[in-house]
Amino acid sequence: MTVPVLSVRNLRVEFVTRRGTLRAIDGVSFDIAKGEVLGVVGESGAGKSVTGLAAIGLIDPPGRISGGEILLSGMRIDNLPPEDMRRIRGKRIGMIFQDPLTSLNPLYRVGEQIVETIRTHLNLSEQAARKRAIDLLAEVGIPAPEKRIDAYPHEFSGGMRQRVVIALAICAEPELIIADEPTTALDVSVQAQIISLIKRLGRDHGTAVMLVTHDMGVIAETSDRVAVMYSGRIAEIGPVGDVVRNPLHPYAKGLMGAIPTLAGDDKRLVQIPGSMPRLSAIPPGCSFNPRCGFAFDRCRIERPEPIRHGAQSVACHLFDASAKDSAA
């Protein structure tokens, strides 16, 4: 068996507040293989971005990783000193943030920022690093990169800035890229270009990608597998085609049923009643039970653990034989 590029095991992330300790991530486990794109989807507050930040070691106080393990190509990284983690971040793990303006320093030309990152992680001269930066800008689709390398971030459009951020993320040839809502602020045609760029990373460089988004269209177009998150846990995970066409978890069914189709049928879109619970008021048992039309007594008492169902894994008592007996 090949060792996964990223392996997350029973991850728990907590935030300590005056009102008590809030658990934002509660027992999340998944793997991402070399060249694979794992889409992570769910409503705002599901824990998608926090999971990505935990993997890259950017959980700031009062947040903390309170349990579990994060392994990068078999090496545990969640317990490393900050200085060691800084060396891994950028070199072995790249990050693409939602807003490119927060990733780029407005006072420096984009070329200076890429060259600095390249020279921090790779043993290259200034001239060789500049040539590599020009090649990277060309690879991510920036026209006339020899001229644009000396431009400032504000001289680029939103889509072009996001391409610069992707060039920054891949400049040291990382094993893993975590992309947090990389297409949110972009128009649809630019979204499609950024999606195809992310897919090409996995295909051409063998990079593993964790793609965090709330857009199922982006997931369906980009990902090999998808993890549906709800209230800090993975409700369902499996191959993207299986989860989109045949979702198992009631929450995943609701998400897929809320996507409009081009078929022209007159069926109403599915609406999931209620909203995601606050971290301070997560219900006992299955956290989705107050919004679930299939919930029974066990769902309100006992938290479901992931159950294998074909190529998918689903955390729902409906797929447990003993649960069906008790429901009857």
pLDDT tens digits along 204-229: 888 999 999 888 888 888 899 999 99
Judge whether 224 and 36 are in contact, CB under 8 Å.
Answer: yes
pTM given for the model: 0.90
pLDDT of residue 266: 61
Q: Does the residue 286 lie in any domain?
A: yes
Residues 6+ positions from 314 with CB-CB distance below 8 Å:
235, 236, 248, 249, 252, 306, 307
Q: Does the residue 226 lie in any domain?
A: yes
Q: Does the residue 123 lie in any domain?
A: no
Reference 195, options 181, 183, 209; nearest CA is: 183
Q: Does the residue 125 lie in any domain?
A: no
Containing structural domain, residue 317 = 6-92+172-327
Inter-CA distances, 218 with 165, 191, 245, 252, Å: 19, 8, 15, 16
Reference 223, options 236, 213, 234, 233; nearest CA is: 213
- 28/143 Cα distance (integer angstroms): 41
Instruction: Give, for 89, the enclosing helix (H) or strand (E).
Output: helix 82-91
CATH code, domain with 68: 3.40.50.300
- 193/170 Cα distance (integer angstroms): 17
- SS3 at position 126: helix
- DSSP sequence for 213-266: -S-HHHHHHH-SEEEEEETTEEEEEEEHHHHHHS--SHHHHHHHHTS--SS---
**Helix, strand, coil share (%) of the chain residues, nearest 5:** 40, 25, 40
**Residue 269, pLDDT above cutoff 80:** no
Instruction: Please count the structural domains in the chain.
Output: 1
Q: Does the residue 20 lie in any domain?
A: yes
Judge whether 216 and 41 are in contact, CB under 8 Å.
Answer: yes
Q: Does the residue 137 lie in any domain?
A: no
Judge whether 35 and 203 are in contact, CB under 8 Å.
Answer: yes
Q: Does the residue 156 lie in any domain?
A: no
Confidence of residue 71 (pLDDT cuts 50, 70, 90): very high
Structure tokens at 72: 């990068």
pLDDT of residue 328: 44
Confidence of residue 272 (pLDDT cuts 50, 70, 90): confident
Average pLDDT over residues 120-144: 92
Reference 139, options 94, 193, 210; nearest CA is: 193
Q: Does the residue 48 lie in any domain?
A: yes
pLDDT of residue 173: 87
Q: Which residues pair with 219 in a beta bridge?
A: none
Question: What percentage of the chain reaches a pLDDT higher than 70?
Answer: 95
pLDDT tens digits along 248-265: 999 999 888 777 666 656
Mean of pLDDT over the chain: 89
- SS3 at position 61: coil
